[in-house]
A and B are shown apart, each in its own frame.
Chain A
Amino acid sequence: MRKPLWGALERPGLDIQGPNLAPDALEQLRQRLVAAVGAHRVWSDAEKLLAYSYDATGERHLPDLVVFVDRPEEIGTVVQVLGAAGMPIIGRGAGTNLSGGTMPIAGGAVLALARLNRVREVDVENLRAVVEPGVVNADFQEVLAPYHLFFAPDPGSHRISTLGGNVSENAGGPHCVKYGVTTNHVLGGLCYLVDGKPRRLPTTRDWRGSLDVTGLLTGSEGTLGLLAELELQVLPKPPRVETLLAAFDDLDRATEAVSAIIRARIVPSTLELLDRVSIETVERFAHAGYPKDAEAVLLIEVDGSPEAAEEERRRVEALLAEVGAISVARATTPTEVERLWKGRRSAYGAAAQVSSHIWVQDVTVPRPLLPAMMREVNQIGRRYGLTILIIAHAGDGNLHPNITYDPADPDEVARMHAADREIIEACVRMGGSITGEHGVGIDKLEHLALMYGPDELAVMWEIKAAWDPQNLLNPFKAVLPPERHHRARARTEPSRAAREVAERIEAALVSSKPVSVHGSEARRLLAPPPAEDAPFGIRTGHWDAIVEVDEGNLTVTVEPGVTARELVEVLAARGLEVPSLPHLARTVGGLVASNARHWGYRGLGWRDHVVMAEWVDGRGRVVRFGRKTMKNVAGYDVTKLMIGSWGMLGVLTELTLRLRPKPVARRVGRISGAPASDLFTITDGLRRSPMPPAGMLLHLEGTSGTLYVQVEGADWEAAQRRVEALAAERGLLVGWEDEALGHQLDEVHEAAVRRALAEGSYWEGGGLPANLRQYWSEGLGDEAWLFPFSGAIEVTRGTPAGAAWWVRRRIAEAPEWRRDPDWIEPEDRLFRVFDPHRLLPKPPAPDGLDSSR
């Protein structure tokens, strides 16, 4: 048995013995590794291994080996060698995670990836970069800076944490409130599953042909695969950032200000809160100039064009005055900005100066419940006689109650644990997530059962077992075998639709009859067909309620049969919207299930908007993943798999979508009847603009076409001028109209797609946005629709010449899907998790055969 190291905590469910290879077997393994990477890159000296026994969580567990990887492709060899010996494999970046994700709790080999630190490519044309996983976040930002680009995720640990670690934890940061978390910026990359074969990750862009396994791997804490290369989305730096620090003499008033800002439809780029104890500590050590008598401060940033940012700042200042901030400081020089940020950034360390140890908690609640959650935490702290410092990503409802304690005082340790558990329970009661950004690691395994019922826990474990049957990749992190969950299990009430669907699926199971799902039928002809004729049809149209619009949280919960048009109208009446919704009669469930793209949104499509989904899988299990929160990394991001699953994994029965304020202005510009090559020049220019338009669609018929551009928000005029300038350079004019033109376009486009599908002349797919021009020059049939931000292509008439780009088409009787050969097997394993009896449709192969058979 391995010798326990000082300070190891008792962890329910984790009483595991490591592999404990016999010394000679370990030696043989070491030699095989040495043969693969060289002697100096394999460590087995027990005392040297101590340097890889810990991460920022603080506990220590000894690994059996450390292997340093210098080239990405070595990961494959090393994984194969280790896998053959049954040795656990723990990927490690900088070891700054706060949940024990890199602790070798069951021994094993640590794969040190920090030396993979090359930035391979900064692709300015396509706003993306390709990096190795060991590149440090701040170093990456430094490489991007000369291009006036930035990578939006910026965890507090950005100076040291690696991009591989950021992606594997789905890290958040102060800028998430506007730009989303890491998963919203991952485009693809290269990964090794436990078989050690390299696989290109499927793109997350809205034209992908596979399940969103990239989304599943993001945040999977190294338990499903190792990331060897990352393709990341980078954004143009906003020309102006305005920074404010508001102080309050009452904590509730500070949280009220947060709500007021959200309610006022302002989307700040930062909205961070520090409570009184944090301010005192920060001031004692960092001297950031935070008012010492304040009960709370908010660090607020807004960004955009100079005019828009200033205007927003003034609105925020007015709101702060209204709510009763005791002071508002504005940073006007880089030094002042730096100083205000210093307080926020040093909060964690300052806490560490007060007390030898701090327990960093990370809970997320729906935004309107932030004040209640803060009060709850303070009460718990008082009850247990503990000092708790609260730092919150307030704009996201994500708070870090940091409990100071002395590990040498057993009574205090016990009180700390009890308080910690109460905080987590309170957060779950409020419908929150037990971890917003730090991950489950080993720390929160025991709490997963507070949040998930047995079916969800089972699904997550089955996914793990499907891809890593021997439990070799970072074992006992993030997910656990169901039998190891000791605590009482949560159960969420299934929705009305879920109950009914579950009944039908059970009936289908009894009769072994396949099932098909029907929304508005818009893209039925492209969907994978059910396994037999006359299947058990499930129509979602009559579950058409809008369950809840939570304006304080900026979320809407809907049944799957709600039509897009109805939802758009209901939301518009409240000044809100879901960015990817076309103004059409299609059902929201159908749009999400088929990952339908919308030209008016330049992000990554539905995966950016769905925060929670409930569905019934092919076993009749009702599962609910995600929460009504902006951030959630509790277990796997299974929701991602459902987006664009085309009914193959289950029947969506409820969805919660993230909302945004409907932009104050929206104009749709049209450049008609222009030469295609000119239009490409314009779209390329607009994509790289620091103030890009909200969306673009290029409708080409042969060598000429029409470009539609949507500009919106506070910066619409600047964006509009930019469009006009680029058009003028090519001697073209832009006609501007209001949003109705966009609605018309939705309908024309929809009609073209329906006709093409019916006639059997439809192709869809995509590539790098900057390559669209080339695809066009190779021939895109007689009518094509191009999406210059995502690189998506749809051909609705004629026959395209180039064949490289399509992923789905209907040119004969049946739809054809091109599956990525690398992913057929892993995907099929996922299908078996959700639908072992093959009741639900499966991907049709290019020749019409079911390739998964």
Chain B
Amino acid sequence: MAQEQPEGRWTAILTEINHCNKCGFCLPSCPTYRLTGQELHSPRGRIAMVEAAARGELEQWSALEEALTYCVACRNCETACPSGVHYARILEAGREFLRARHSRAFRGSFAAQQALRLAKYPGRLRGLVRLARRLTGVPLPGAWARFRAMLPPEPRPLPAGPPPRAARRGTLLWFDSCVMAAVFEEANRATQALLNAAGWRVVTVPRQTCCGAIHLHSGERAQALALARQNVAALEAAVAQYGAAGIVHNAGGCGAMLTEYPQVLAEDPAWAARAQRLAGLVQDFTALLWGEEGPLLPFQGNGERVALQNSCHLVNVAKAGQAPVRLLESVEGDTYVPYYGQEICCGSGGVYNLNHTDWALGILDQKMRAVATVHPTRIVVNNPGCHLQMQWGARRHPEVGAEVEHLATYLWRSYVRAAARASSEATAMEGTAAEGRP
């Protein structure tokens, strides 16, 4: 007999669970299994716990709760799974089951709840960040104090580039990540500048809001749905107005959420269909900087060793993790250094690091040890959550000696360098040509 089920979903979930043959291939991909070495904190174990619930084998929920609480939801296990198990569905079903039983596990810490609230108001978030930066010596409110180390230093001004070329490739709609807008404004500017340089016209979507990913993963489903609907409407209107060739973003997590709106809104077929039409347009900026014959822009490095912390959701959900790698490999004069364990999550997980700080730091320390093996001078990121987290990692591990930077600003500086070199070479050429003239 199956346990009393939330919204009659157990049958579907058991079919999904049946595809898990417990091969264990997902174990090494899972940050919490790597951290604990415990099955309960592995994808296979989490699936087994949800299975037990679905089969009516559980009498209390504490073990299920423990298992599902510490999942970062990075979904790396889905990529690793040879059987194509949709882990996220199983996780969601389990979490909902617990919520229906008034589990408090997914309420989130004070800091996380604050963060969720702030996420909807980028302006306030930005204000808070400025304040925190300025008042480094001043104690922050208790719950926030620990997290100061996440904040990046004052942004370095972006160098000016050559004037953008004509927008001959079409129009892109810019979807802004709330955290990006607040903390990493310069990365946003760099992204748009790169796209312009590559010949795209970029228009910011009016009336957009937070994508809702962190709300969804924190169990604030209603909130998440409301945000999703608002964005779908805003994006539809913008597409109608500008006839966009794509919806572009530079935050892997937010982008992945946009592509998942059809599933998120599945219970509302009309909205789901609207979301579906938009999902196909969503692209990470890196994909739009790559043409048929290679990168659309030249990139010139500076003798650095560059490691990548790819956005988990860009890789595992949007399945678009290759473009950043290709771009990094195309930077002349820098060395892209892949490393063992690169695909593992950094422990940011939306507000995971606010809710389960000790676990997140454990995962982060592992990450820093892994990346240290290739001695990078720079670690580039492409998601704001990861950016904050890796920043924290760099502070905790000064021995690694690497700077953390958004992929977009890194690429922009490389592009400006390449452009400068090209023009000085051109001048030199002209000079030679002039001398040669009779």
- Interface residues of A, Cβ cutoff 8 Å to B: 3, 5-6, 45, 47-48, 50-58, 60, 68, 94-96, 112, 114-115, 117, 134, 136, 138-139, 142, 157, 159-161, 285, 346, 348-350, 352-353, 356-358, 407
Quick one: which of B23, B52, B59, B340 contacts A56, CB cutoff 8 A? B23
Quick one: which of A50, A117, A358 contacts B21, CB cutoff 8 A? A358
* Given A47-B62, A285-B84, A356-B38 contact (CB < 8 Å): no
B24: interface (CB < 8 Å): yes
Contacts of B59 in A (CB 8 A): 47
Contacts of B67 in A (CB 8 A): 51
What per-residue 1/0 map shows which CB atoms of B76-91 lie under 8 Å from chain A?
A: 0000011110000000
B22: interface (CB < 8 Å): yes
Asked if B83 and A349 make an inter-chain contact with CB atoms under 8 angstroms apart, the answer reads yes
Residue among B40, B59, B60, B62 with max Cβ neighbours from chain A (10 Å): B40
Q: What is the bound-complex CA distance between A277 and B66, given in angstroms? A: 41
Contacts of A157 in B (CB 8 A): 23-25
Asked if A47 and B23 make an inter-chain contact with CB atoms under 8 angstroms apart, the answer reads no
- Closest residue to A407 on the B side, CB-wise? B18
Quick one: which of A56, A68, A407 contacts B24, CB cutoff 8 A? A56
Q: What is the bound-complex CA distance between A461 and B58, given in angstroms? A: 38
Give residues of chain B (156-189) contacting chain A, Cβ–Cβ below 8 Å: none
Asked if A53 and B48 make an inter-chain contact with CB atoms under 8 angstroms apart, the answer reads yes
Asked if B37 and A45 make an inter-chain contact with CB atoms under 8 angstroms apart, the answer reads no
- Interface residues of B, Cβ cutoff 8 Å to A: 15, 18-19, 21-25, 27-28, 37-40, 42, 45, 48-49, 52, 55, 57-60, 62-64, 66-67, 81-84, 340
A-B CB proximity, top 3 nearest: A349-B82, A352-B83, A47-B63
Quick one: which of B23, B24, B27, B48 contacts A50, CB cutoff 8 A? B48
Q: What is the bound-complex CA distance between A160 and B62, given in angstroms? A: 28
* Given A5-B57, A47-B59, A353-B19, A95-B24 contact (CB < 8 Å): yes
* Closest chain A CB from B59 CB (angstroms): 7
Q: What is the bound-complex CA distance between A95 and B59, given in angstroms? A: 26
* Closest chain B CB from A743 CB (angstroms): 48
Asked if A50 and B49 make an inter-chain contact with CB atoms under 8 angstroms apart, the answer reads yes
Can you list 17 contacts pairing A with B, beta carbon distance less than 8 Å? A5-B57, A47-B59, A50-B52, A51-B39, A56-B22, A56-B23, A58-B21, A94-B24, A161-B24, A285-B84, A348-B23, A352-B21, A353-B82, A353-B84, A356-B18, A357-B21, A358-B21
Q: What is the bound-complex CA distance between A6 and B45, given in angstroms? A: 16
Q: What is the bound-complex CA distance between A429 and B142, given in angstroms? A: 74
* Closest chain A CB from B322 CB (angstroms): 12
Contacts of B58 in A (CB 8 A): 47
Asked if A47 and B48 make an inter-chain contact with CB atoms under 8 angstroms apart, the answer reads no
Q: What is the bound-complex CA distance between A157 and B23, given in angstroms? A: 9
Q: A5-B57, A45-B63, A58-B22 are in contact. List 4 more A-B contacts (CB 8 A).
A: A47-B59, A51-B49, A56-B22, A112-B39
* Closest chain A CB from B325 CB (angstroms): 12
- Closest residue to B16 on the A side, CB-wise? A356
* Closest chain B CB from A611 CB (angstroms): 30
Asked if B82 and A350 make an inter-chain contact with CB atoms under 8 angstroms apart, the answer reads yes
Quick one: which of B27, B48, B62 contacts A45, CB cutoff 8 A? B62
- Closest residue to B84 on the A side, CB-wise? A353
Asked if A353 and B83 make an inter-chain contact with CB atoms under 8 angstroms apart, the answer reads yes
Q: What is the bound-complex CA distance between A52 and B66, given in angstroms? A: 15
Asked if A159 and B18 make an inter-chain contact with CB atoms under 8 angstroms apart, the answer reads no
Contacts of B25 in A (CB 8 A): 157, 159-160, 349
- Closest residue to B60 on the A side, CB-wise? A47
Q: What is the bound-complex CA distance between A530 and B47, given in angstroms? A: 61
Contacts of A6 in B (CB 8 A): 55, 57
Residue among B45, B55, B60, B64 with max Cβ neighbours from chain A (10 Å): B45
- Closest residue to A5 on the B side, CB-wise? B57
* Closest chain B CB from A709 CB (angstroms): 37
Contacts of B48 in A (CB 8 A): 50-51, 53-54, 60
Q: What is the bound-complex CA distance between A58 and B55, given in angstroms? A: 15
Contacts of A356 in B (CB 8 A): 15, 18-19, 21
* Closest chain B CB from A416 CB (angstroms): 14
Quick one: which of B38, B82, B83, B84 contacts A68, CB cutoff 8 A? B38
- Closest residue to B57 on the A side, CB-wise? A5
Asked if A142 and B340 make an inter-chain contact with CB atoms under 8 angstroms apart, the answer reads yes
Contacts of B57 in A (CB 8 A): 3, 5-6, 50
Q: What is the bound-complex CA distance between A139 and B28, given in angstroms? A: 10
Residue among A51, A356, A357 with max Cβ neighbours from chain B (10 Å): A51
Q: What is the bound-complex CA distance between A358 and B82, given in angstroms? A: 13
Q: What is the bound-complex CA distance between A580 and B5, given in angstroms? A: 66
Q: What is the bound-complex CA distance between A136 and B33, given in angstroms? A: 13
Asked if A51 and B45 make an inter-chain contact with CB atoms under 8 angstroms apart, the answer reads yes
- Closest residue to B66 on the A side, CB-wise? A48
- Closest residue to A355 on the B side, CB-wise? B19
Q: What is the bound-complex CA distance between A136 and B37, given in angstroms? A: 11
Asked if B37 and A47 make an inter-chain contact with CB atoms under 8 angstroms apart, the answer reads no
Q: What is the bound-complex CA distance between A15 and B128, given in angstroms? A: 65
Asked if A47 and B340 make an inter-chain contact with CB atoms under 8 angstroms apart, the answer reads no
* Closest chain B CB from A142 CB (angstroms): 5
Q: What is the bound-complex CA distance between A55 and B27, given in angstroms? A: 12
Q: What is the bound-complex CA distance between A96 and B44, given in angstroms? A: 11
* Closest chain B CB from A674 CB (angstroms): 43
Asked if A352 and B38 make an inter-chain contact with CB atoms under 8 angstroms apart, the answer reads no
- Closest residue to B82 on the A side, CB-wise? A349
Q: What is the bound-complex CA distance between A160 and B22, given in angstroms? A: 12
Asked if A55 and B22 make an inter-chain contact with CB atoms under 8 angstroms apart, the answer reads yes
- Closest residue to A60 on the B side, CB-wise? B48
Asked if A352 and B39 make an inter-chain contact with CB atoms under 8 angstroms apart, the answer reads no
Q: What is the bound-complex CA distance between A45 and B62, given in angstroms? A: 9
* Given A5-B57, A48-B66, A138-B28, A95-B19 contact (CB < 8 Å): no
* Given A96-B23, A160-B28, A48-B40 contact (CB < 8 Å): yes
Q: What is the bound-complex CA distance between A358 and B67, given in angstroms? A: 27
Contacts of B38 in A (CB 8 A): 51, 68, 112
Contacts of B39 in A (CB 8 A): 51-52, 95, 112
Q: What is the bound-complex CA distance between A285 and B39, given in angstroms? A: 27
Asked if B84 and A56 make an inter-chain contact with CB atoms under 8 angstroms apart, the answer reads no
Q: What is the bound-complex CA distance between A315 and B249, given in angstroms? A: 53
* Closest chain B CB from A357 CB (angstroms): 6
Contacts of A348 in B (CB 8 A): 23, 82
Residue among A50, A55, A95, A353 with max Cβ neighbours from chain B (10 Å): A50
Q: What is the bound-complex CA distance between A799 and B360, given in angstroms? A: 64
Contacts of A353 in B (CB 8 A): 19, 82-84
Q: What is the bound-complex CA distance between A148 and B62, given in angstroms? A: 47
Contacts of A52 in B (CB 8 A): 39
Asked if A47 and B52 make an inter-chain contact with CB atoms under 8 angstroms apart, the answer reads yes
Q: What is the bound-complex CA distance between A3 and B83, given in angstroms? A: 29
Q: What is the bound-complex CA distance between A353 and B52, given in angstroms? A: 22
Contacts of A350 in B (CB 8 A): 82
Q: What is the bound-complex CA distance between A60 and B17, given in angstroms? A: 14
Q: What is the bound-complex CA distance between A112 and B27, given in angstroms? A: 14
- Closest residue to A360 on the B side, CB-wise? B21
Contacts of B18 in A (CB 8 A): 356-357, 407
- Closest residue to A98 on the B side, CB-wise? B23
Contacts of A136 in B (CB 8 A): 28
* Closest chain A CB from B392 CB (angstroms): 25
- Closest residue to B40 on the A side, CB-wise? A51
Contacts of A117 in B (CB 8 A): 37
* Given A50-B57, A142-B340, A94-B22 contact (CB < 8 Å): no
Contacts of B82 in A (CB 8 A): 346, 348-350, 352-353
Asked if B28 and A115 make an inter-chain contact with CB atoms under 8 angstroms apart, the answer reads no
Contacts of B21 in A (CB 8 A): 56, 58, 352, 356-358
Q: What is the bound-complex CA distance between A50 and B81, given in angstroms? A: 21
Q: What is the bound-complex CA distance between A784 and B119, given in angstroms? A: 79
Contacts of A142 in B (CB 8 A): 340
- Closest residue to A285 on the B side, CB-wise? B84
Q: What is the bound-complex CA distance between A471 and B128, given in angstroms? A: 65
Q: What is the bound-complex CA distance between A60 and B57, given in angstroms? A: 12
Q: What is the bound-complex CA distance between A58 and B59, given in angstroms? A: 22
- Closest residue to B41 on the A side, CB-wise? A51
